[in-house]
Amino acid sequence: MRLDFLTLKLFVAVAEESSITGAAAREHLVPSAVSKRLGLLEESLGVELLVRHTKGVALTPAGETLLLRARDILRSVETTALEVGQFTSDGFAHIRLTANHSSMVQFLPGDLASFLAAHPRTKVDLVERLSADVVRAVADGLADVGIYCWPAIPQGLVAYPYRNDELVVAAPLDHPQARAGRIPFETLAQSQFIAYYPNLSASAAMPEFLNRAASRVRIHVANFEATCRMVEEGLGVAVLPRANVDAYVRQGRLARIELTNDWAHRQLHLCIRDEARTRRSVMDFVEHMVARAHPA
């Protein structure tokens, strides 16, 4: 009895397409090669699996049974490949992580240190991206895990709540609202602004900024630290993650203005591809990070 991987894969394709020709096109083979494989499979098992007719093929009861088992076998093989493929040549589990800037300067360093201490035979490759690009990289298979804020999750990805983040206004020390405490963003609508270029991940959730202050953007800067320096020199105010502003506040170089607006309080998420849940190293990482962020 021969039940090789390729033949089972072709059988599933034929069953799903209800056509040998359709299955051959899907698997980039000629129909005669697919038909021969299936004939040998039926001969090996000693039972008819398909009923051939002018419009395609239909499964016999034996074929229906084999389809269920074949799908289980293929899933098992794919899962095994994923589990084995997570290790590098030196035996270390390998996780490709991509994250937005806000998480990297606030929570991620400590959480990574804790995870790697608990999993010493794991390596992490970390790449910084904008939140929308984080989600896209995970969806495209360029990263195993992503940390992002705001973008909608495409089909095939799974999200887990991670940390809470806060947007604040960085202002020069002599700004009229520098000691105002917590205020609505609208109060600042007449200020000159320094905007993050190409996009702050929260901009889609900042209607006050888009509607009231966009015309008052004086400078676009593609770096958070450079944005703070521009604010320090009195060129305008900027909406930034709190962690980027606090270092300058502690040094007495900037004022931090907190906002009462709902969009200023953000939820960061972890995302993975649905099939990545079969990789133990990925789920160990996700579970550790979620537990650190939301201890029982």
Angle (CA) 48 51 57, round 5°: 130
Instruction: Tell me the pLDDT band of 87, cut-offs 50, 70 and 90.
Output: low
In Å, how far are 6, 7, 68, 114, 173 from 74, measured between CA atoms? 10, 11, 10, 36, 63
pLDDT in tens, 95-109: 999 999 889 988 999
Percentage of the chain beyond pLDDT 70 is: 87
pLDDT in tens, 149-161: 877 888 889 999 9
Determine the residue type at 260.
Answer: T
Q: Sketch out the chain's domains with CATH numbers.
A: 5-85 (1.10.10.10), 93-164+266-293 (3.40.190.10), 165-265 (3.40.190.10)
pLDDT at residue 115 tops 90? yes
